[in-house]
Amino acid sequence: MQADIQADIDTINSAVTLLKQHIDFASAHSRLSDFETQITSDGFWDNQAQAQKVMQEKNHFENQLAIIE
């Protein structure tokens, strides 16, 4: 029983590792930092269409990372 559970855990860990490689985990964290810098900059909301696009992309990255963190 315990061996089966450990095998399942190993399988899940392997899947998470592959998922992190697929989305380039480190790069995604870096992109989130870039988004935060953009969002807090002066004049970010001056162009509403561009601001919404950035916010959507930021939310997409956050959601992807939340799944595997």
Query: pTM surpassing 0.75?
Result: no
pLDDT classification of 39: cutoffs 50, 70, 90:
very high
Residue-averaged pLDDT of the chain: 84
What is the rounded CA–CA span in Å between residue 24 and residue 50? 25
Residue 64 has pLDDT above 90, yes or no: no
Domain hosting 26: range is: 2-68
Alpha carbons 38 and 34: distance in angstroms, whole number: 6
Task: Provide the percentage of residues in the chain whose pLDDT is more than 90.
Answer: 33
Give the Cα separation of 58 and 31 in Å (integer).
8
For 35-53, what is the mean pLDDT? 94
Q: Is residue 52 pLDDT above 70, yes or no?
A: yes
The mean pLDDT value for 31-38 works out to 90
Per the structure, how many domains does the chain have?
Answer: 1
